Chain A
Amino acid sequence: MTVLSAKNITMQFGGLTAVDQFNLELSANELVGLIGPNGAGKTTIFNMLTGVYVPTMGEIMLNDQSIIKKTPHEIVKLGASRTFQNIRLFKDLTAVENVKIAYHNFIDYNMVQGMFRTKKFWTEEKKAHEECMKLLDIFDMGEYADTLAKNLPYGQQRKLEIARALASDPKVLMLDEPAAGMNPNETAELMETIHFIRNKFDITVLLIEHDMKLVMGICERIIVVDYGKTIAEGTPDEIKNNPDVIRAYLGD
C-alpha cells in the first residue's frame, strides 16, 4: 500500500532547476534512503514533501490526498512529519516542552478552559505530560525532560528532534541527515534507534543521508539523486555496484 507518492515534482528557483521531475513511492512500513552528493537536491525534495516549498510542477499524494499547496502544519496533521538538517529545536524550552508542542493536536481543551484552569485542563495536561514522557523514555531521555533544549549534548538534541517529530503521530517520518555531526558510535546507536522506532510505531521512514555507507546498513531501498534527478534506485547491493552512482560520487 502506498503511503506517500510524488509524481514528476519539479522545483525551479528563478532559472535554476533544483529538482527535475522527481518520482517517489513509499509503501507502509518501509525504510527508504535518499542519498546523493552535496547540492543534489535532497533537502529541496524534503521541503516539497513537507510543504515548505510548493513545487513548480508535479503532484504529491499523502494517504491518497493531494498535499500540493497545503501548509506544513496541515501536512503534519495528515500524517507526515520531519526533522531538520541543522537542528531546529525550541532552544529555550525544556525537552519535554519541545515534545508537548508537537503533541498539541491531541490535547483537547480550548483557550478559555486553559486560562481558567478547569478540570479538563488538568486532566488533559496530565495525560499529555505522561504521553510525552513515555516518548522521551523510548529515547532514554527521561532524565533530560526538564533540561533546556539548548543545554542538551549534541547527540541528545538530534534524538529530541526525532522524538518531537514522532509526537504528532505520523505515518511517514522524514529525517534530514539525522547523523550529521555524530561520531561513529553515536551514528551506529542512532541507526539502531531508527530501526526500532520504525517497528515500534509501525511507520514509514524516509531518510536523507549524505554518507552512503551509513544508509546501506539499515535501508531496504535506496534512491540516488544527482543534479535534481533520480539516477538510480534499488536495494543497497544494487546501488553499491551501479556505475552511475559511482560516477556521481567519484566523478568521471
Chain B
Amino acid sequence: MDHNKKKAYLINAIAIVALYLVFFVLIQTKTMNNYFVGIAIMTCIMIIMAMSLNIVAGFLGEMALGHAGFMAIGAYSSASFSMALIDGGLSLPPIITLVLAMVVGGIVAGIFGFLIGTPTLRLRGDYLGIVTIGFSEIIRIFFINFGPTGGAAGLKGITRLVNFNNVYWITIIVAFLIFTLGRSKQGRAIISIREDEIASEAAGIPTTRYKVLAFSLAAFFAGVGGSLYAHYQSFLEPSKFGFMFSIEMFVIVVLGGLGSLTGSIISAIVLTVLPEMLRSFSEYRLLVYSLVLIIMMIFRPQGIFGRSEFSLTAFIESLIRRKNVKNSIGGGEAS
C-alpha cells in the first residue's frame, strides 16, 4: 500500500467515524426522534440493496428486475433462523444472533442466485429482465402460499435486533466489500463482460462463471439487506416484495449511475428520504417523485455520476488547492 492510498483510507475512515458521531449525538440528545432514526435505518438498508443490485446492473451490465425476490428469500430465511434460535432457548448476544441470521439469509439468497443465474444468464437484455421479474414473482407467490412462514398474512414476532448503531457499521462493511470487489481481478473480469463479452472470452475470462458469480454475489448481499429489513421491521409480508419494489431499487441504481457505487449510495439516500419529506404533500408525493424521475432522465440520462465514483480525497484535495491558489494570489498582492 503506498502513501497516497494510505492517506485516502485515513480520510475516508475519519469521514465515516465523524458521520457516525454526528448521528450518535443527534440520537442521544433526542434531536432525531424515532421517526427519523427509522428513516435512517431504512436508508442504510436501501443503500445495501442498491449497491448489491449494482453488481449485476452496473458491473455486469445486465438488466435484473427481480432483486426484491432475493431480498425476500434473505428476509424470510434469516427471520426463520433467528426465531428458531431464540425459540430453542439459545441466548446469544443480540449482535451475534443478528450476524448469524445475516450470514444465513445471505447464503440462502446467494444459493438461489446461483440456481436461478446458472440457466438464465444465457439470456440477454430485456429477456433476462423479464425472466428475473418472473422468478421474483414466483418467489413472492410462494411466500403467499407457504404456511410455515405465515402465508399471505405475513410472518410476525421476529425479534428486533437492528438499531442504527449496528446497521450503520454493517452498511459500511458491505459498502467496503462491494467497492473492493469492483477493484479486484474478479471485479475487473465482471466489468469486462459488460464492456464486450466476446472480447472478454478472447482475453481468457471464463465469462459464464463470472456472470453466475456476479449474480450470486448480488443475491447474497440482497439477502443480507433482507435480513436487516426483517430484523428491523420484526414483521414480514409477501406483498412488500412485489414487482414495484424491484423496480424501485433498479431506479435507484440507474439514477445514481450504473456502475457507480457512490452514485448508488447518494441516490439511495435521496430516493428514500425524498418521499418521506414529501409526506406533507400526501397524495401528490408519488406524482412529484415520478416527475422528478422523468425530468432527471431527460436531462441526465447517464445518472448522477455516470460510471465514475465520488472521491472524498480528491474532493478535499481540490478544496485545498483552491484555497492555496487564493492564498498565493492574496500573498502576491500583499508583497
Contacts and interface: CB of A to CB of B under 8 A. Distances in A.
Direct interface between A and B, CB < 8 A:
yes
Interface string B199-233: 11111111100000100000000000000000000
B283 interface: no
Nearest to A87: B199
Contact of A72 (B180, B191, B202, B213): B202
Interface string A165-208: 10110000000000000000000000000000000000000000
Given A104-B185, A114-B186, A73 B192 contact: no
Contact of B186 (A102, A111, A124, A125): A111
Contact of A93 (B184, B195, B205): B195
- Best-buried of B192, B203, B206, B207 by chain A (most CB within 10 Å): B203
A115 B204 contact: no
A115 B196 contact: no
Contacts, number: 96
B51 to A, nearest CB: 13
A77 B203 CA distance: 9
Contact of A114 (B184, B191, B198, B206): B184
A90 interface: yes
A59 to B, nearest CB: 22
B180 A84 contact: no
Contact of B181 (A52, A100, A114): A114
Contact of B185 (A90, A109, A165): A109
A89 B199 contact: yes
A76 B186 contact: no
A88 B192 CA distance: 11
B-side interface mostly:
helix
Contacts of A76: 201-204
A116 B180 contact: yes
Interface residues of A, number: 38
B189 interface: yes
A10 interface: no
B202 A81 contact: yes
B329 interface: no
Interface in B254-304: none
Contact of B188 (A81, A101, A165): A101
B198 A91 contact: no
A105 interface: yes
Given A73-B206, A101-B203, A104-B185, A88 B180 contact: no
B180 A114 contact: yes
B327 to A, nearest CB: 30
A90 B199 contact: yes
Given A111-B184, A111-B186, A114-B184, A164 B203 contact: yes
A216 interface: no
A43 to B, nearest CB: 13
Given A73-B204, A73-B205, A76-B202, A104 B195 contact: no
Contacts of A221: none
A72 B200 CA distance: 9
B160 interface: no
A165 B213 CA distance: 24
A71 interface: yes
Interface string A116-133: 110001101100100000
Contacts of B198: 52, 72, 84, 88
A97 B198 CA distance: 17
A159 interface: no
A3 to B, nearest CB: 18
A93 B199 contact: no
Given A93-B191, A114-B180, A115-B180, A107 B199 contact: no
Contacts of B191: 90, 93
A230 interface: no
A179 B261 CA distance: 39
Interface core residue of B1, B198, B199 (most chain A CB under 10 Å): B199
A109 to B, nearest CB: 7
B204 A102 contact: yes
B77 to A, nearest CB: 22
A84 B202 contact: yes
A50 B202 contact: yes
A181 B307 CA distance: 30
Contact of B202 (A82, A92, A100, A115): A82
Given A104-B189, A114-B180, A89 B204 contact: no
B177 interface: yes
Interface of A: 50, 52, 71-73, 76-77, 81-82, 84, 88-93, 97, 100-102, 104-105, 107, 109, 111, 114-117, 121-122, 124-125, 128, 164-165, 167-168
27 contacts: A72-B201, A73-B204, A73-B205, A73-B206, A81-B203, A82-B202, A84-B199, A88-B196, A89-B195, A90-B192, A92-B195, A93-B192, A100-B185, A101-B189, A101-B192, A101-B203, A104-B204, A109-B184, A109-B185, A114-B181, A114-B187, A115-B177, A115-B184, A116-B180, A121-B184, A125-B185, A167-B203
Interface of B: 1, 177, 180-181, 184-189, 191-192, 195-196, 198-207, 213, 307
Given A115-B184, A168-B203, 6 more contacts: A73-B201, A76-B204, A77-B204, A93-B188, A104-B205, A115-B180
Report, nearest first, the 5 A-B pairs whose CB atoms are least far apart: A114-B184, A76-B204, A90-B195, A88-B199, A102-B203
